[in-house]
Structure 1
Amino acid sequence: MNPSEESRDRLSLTAARILVCVVLTVAFAIGIPGNSFVVWTICRRMKQQPSTVVLILHLAIADLLVLATMPIWIYSFAHSWVFNVVTCKALVFVVYCSMYASIFLITALSIERFTAVFYPFAVRWWKKKAVTFLVVSGIWFLSIAFGATIIPFQETDETDIGLQCAARRYDSNAQEVACLLIETTMGFLIPFTVIIICYVSISRRIGRMVCPSKRRSTKLIASVVAAFGLCWLPHHIFNLMSVASVLMEDSHPEMSGSLDKTVAVGVYIAGSITFVSSCINPLLYAFAARNFRSSVRFVKLSRLFEQMGPLAKLESVKEAPSPNGKEETLTTMEMI
């Protein structure tokens, strides 16, 4: 590498480090009070906590777990990693555990919404506290199990910006490819495929419903899904780029090297964007709750969550006229 290329790479890393610190600081400043407010509202202001609200509660808890580690990451990127490798492994585990928990919780919300639209009487099964407890417990168990897979490979490493907790060491190329593909497949592709199927089906059905409140709550969950997807997509793209680099290491060494350089810089920016997903949900809730008539914010938020939860009472929702000119009636749950 000639001096000009080395200087350019160092400048790119410096710019990436500054951007990462700014993004993480903003995410921490917004996310901690925002998610704490969501948790407080649900736990203290809501007597009834339906399954939808319980899932939102745990989504906020997962975000708070990540945000609690933020000051350490900010200091690390601004200066260098000052802790041992055990701390590095533990903090990365928390981040990945939260990632899996968030996507699994969002998938559960999407499936619940799909069930409410197409099988409204089956939602009564979701209302049982024992069922909700089992679903949430299962989600956290899977999240911990998948998050723990990163622990053996995460290490600290000396980089151009100092010692960082950003390296992974694998025993072989095959092991690296397998781990990265499992992470992207289980933590993104499969859950989002399920989510997309749910929402494509829901959009076709709910578009015929004359019920603004139901559309609003469904759009809110859809916006949570979209925000998470946009925040984590760059991370998984760089994962796939790393896989491509490993596979082309022998056949196309120059291309593999170029991909490695791109990943080396982009992984920091993509990593910082993933933290944005931990602060954006409270903003979405606040935006969705703005139409409720109240001067007290927690009242607006609690009413929003109450509206999203399934009620015991079934109602008949009129659909828009069908092509043959007849008006159909759809029986559905209040939660849609």
Structure 2
Amino acid sequence: MSPSVESEAHLPWSIIRYLACTILSLAFIIGVPGNTFVIWTICGRMKQRSPTIVMILNLAIADLLVLGTLPIWIYSIAKTWVFGLITCKILTFLIYSSMYASVFLIVALSMERFMAVFYPFAIQRWKKKKATSLGLLLIWLLSIAFGAGGIPFKGVDDEDGIECMVVSYYSNTQLIACLLLETLVGFVVPFAIISICYVCVGRRISKMTCPSKRRSAMLITAVVVAFALCWLPHHTINLISIAAALTEDSHPEGSKALENISEVGSYIAGSIALISSCINPLLYAFAARNFQSSVRFERLSKLFELMIPSVREGGTKEASSTPGQDETLTSSAII
């Protein structure tokens, strides 16, 4: 192959790698300060932390764990992987565990919103510190379990210029099962739950006239849309890989073409998925921009207080509230 032809053959890959590095760099530059600011605001400026705030804190921590590894991935994509097999497995485990934790936390937040809107008093019985701690422990244990499930298949490619996150399955059946499980658990089922919860919440909020609740509804919509846009490409690549495996025997040429699309698209899709780790602080900042305060952490604190889906008047109010009061209290329970 002549130098000119070789350079043309490698041009698409160089563009893809450059684009992936650019996306990851922007995610790191925006996401690390953003999530650090969220963590600092909650830990340093909020004395009382509701279960909602604790889940937002854990979400920021999970996102920060992912973002902290990006310089290594940027270097490996731009150059080559020089950190060894063990480091590769540890970092991929961290990425996948944090990914599942973020998804599960967003699902938990959406279910909490649903309960707060339709069962505002019943949810108070569950919103105890011990129950919250157990729920978060379960989320992290499940995330670690799903994250560890892919470790045996992740490795380093020593043939084509050492590259981490090469996936080696023992059979197509195993590949299909693993990728299908990842897509179902990491996207399809969570997105279905989130969508159903927020559609129901949105309908209830649309009947209210309180501006703060409508602003919160817009934040809800933005979180759901961002989740879908960030993760859809990654799981679409998974489905393409599954299709390639299913058609390997019946349509080998088509299977090879799908495999090539999957290989090329995985760089960009993976980079876009990691944007999800930096998007939430931007959404919080945008939603908090109208609060009357010159200090940013005070605006963010007010936003987080607004996001607490709780009946603000508890105790005896619950037993003595009239139907009109019930509607008012329910309104105050919606983010």
TM-score by length of 1: 0.91
Q: 1:180 Cα deviation (Å)?
A: 0.3
Contact kept in structure 2, 1:17 and 1:268, CA below 8 Å: yes
> What's the counterpart of residue 280 of structure 1?
279
SS where residue 155 of structure 1 aligns?
A: strand
> What's the counterpart of residue 98 of structure 1?
98
Deviation per CA, 1:108-135: give whole Å up to 9, x if none. Answer: 0100000111111122134311111111
Q: Go from structure 1 to structure 2 and tell me whether the alpha carbon gap of 1:12 and 1:131 turns closer, same or farther (over 3 Å shift).
A: same
SS where residue 267 of structure 1 aligns?
A: helix
Distance 1:39 1:174 in 2: 42
Q: 1:212 Cα deviation (Å)?
A: 2.0
SS where residue 77 of structure 2 aligns?
A: helix
Q: Go from structure 1 to structure 2 and tell me whether the alpha carbon gap of 1:89 and 1:259 turns closer, same or farther (over 3 Å shift).
A: same
Distance 1:51 1:73 in 2: 33
> What's the counterpart of residue 128 of structure 1?
128
SS where residue 47 of structure 2 aligns?
A: coil
> What's the counterpart of residue 172 of structure 1?
171
Distance 1:317 1:21 in 2: 58
Distance 2:92 2:153 in 1: 11
| 2:327 maps to 1:306 | no
Letter of the 2:26 counterpart:
V
> What's the counterpart of residue 16 of structure 1?
16
Q: 1:145 Cα deviation (Å)?
A: 0.4
Q: 1:222 Cα deviation (Å)?
A: 3.1
Q: Which runs of 4+ in 1 moved over 6 A?
A: 1-6, 314-319
| 2:219 maps to 1:258 | no
Distance 1:232 1:159 in 2: 30
Letter of the 1:307 counterpart:
L
Distance 1:165 1:191 in 2: 28
> What's the counterpart of residue 196 of structure 1?
195
Distance 1:87 1:258 in 2: 32
TM-score by length of 2: 0.92
Letter of the 1:148 counterpart:
A
Contact kept in structure 2, 1:34 and 1:283, CA below 8 Å: yes
Letter of the 2:186 counterpart:
G
Letter of the 2:154 counterpart:
Q
> What's the counterpart of residue 182 of structure 2?
183
SS where residue 167 of structure 1 aligns?
A: strand
SS where residue 165 of structure 1 aligns?
A: strand
Contact kept in structure 2, 1:115 and 1:123, CA below 8 Å: yes
Distance 2:185 2:120 in 1: 29
> What's the counterpart of residue 40 of structure 2?
40
Q: Go from structure 1 to structure 2 and tell me whether the alpha carbon gap of 1:108 and 1:5 turns closer, same or farther (over 3 Å shift).
A: farther
Distance 1:102 1:108 in 2: 10
Q: 1:264 Cα deviation (Å)?
A: 1.2
> What's the counterpart of residue 236 of structure 1?
235
Deviation per CA, 1:175-195: give whole Å up to 9, x if none. Answer: 110000000001110111111
The alignment yields a C-alpha RMSD, in angstroms, of 2.4
SS where residue 304 of structure 1 aligns?
A: helix
Q: 1:279 Cα deviation (Å)?
A: 0.9
Contact kept in structure 1, 2:230 and 2:276, CA below 8 Å: yes
Distance 2:45 2:188 in 1: 36
> What's the counterpart of residue 57 of structure 1?
57
| Structure that is richer in strand per residue | 1
Distance 2:71 2:331 in 1: 43
- Give the one of 317, 327, 330 matched to 1:332: 330
Contact kept in structure 1, 2:293 and 2:299, CA below 8 Å: yes
Letter of the 1:334 counterpart:
S
Distance 2:262 2:4 in 1: 20
Q: Go from structure 1 to structure 2 and tell me whether the alpha carbon gap of 1:4 and 1:51 turns closer, same or farther (over 3 Å shift).
A: same
Contact kept in structure 2, 1:39 and 1:60, CA below 8 Å: yes
Q: Go from structure 1 to structure 2 and tell me whether the alpha carbon gap of 1:331 and 1:305 turns closer, same or farther (over 3 Å shift).
A: closer
Task: Using the aligned pairs only, state the percent identity.
Answer: 59
Q: Go from structure 1 to structure 2 and tell me whether the alpha carbon gap of 1:317 and 1:32 turns closer, same or farther (over 3 Å shift).
A: farther
How many residues align? The count is 327
> What's the counterpart of residue 208 of structure 1?
207
Q: 1:144 Cα deviation (Å)?
A: 0.3
Distance 1:159 1:317 in 2: 73
Distance 2:274 2:189 in 1: 21
**Correspondences of 1:80-99 after superposition (within 5 Å):** 80-99=80-99
Q: Go from structure 1 to structure 2 and tell me whether the alpha carbon gap of 1:131 and 1:44 turns closer, same or farther (over 3 Å shift).
A: same
Q: 1:318 Cα deviation (Å)?
A: 11
Q: 1:331 Cα deviation (Å)?
A: 4.7
Contact kept in structure 2, 1:245 and 1:259, CA below 8 Å: yes
Contact kept in structure 2, 1:20 and 1:268, CA below 8 Å: yes
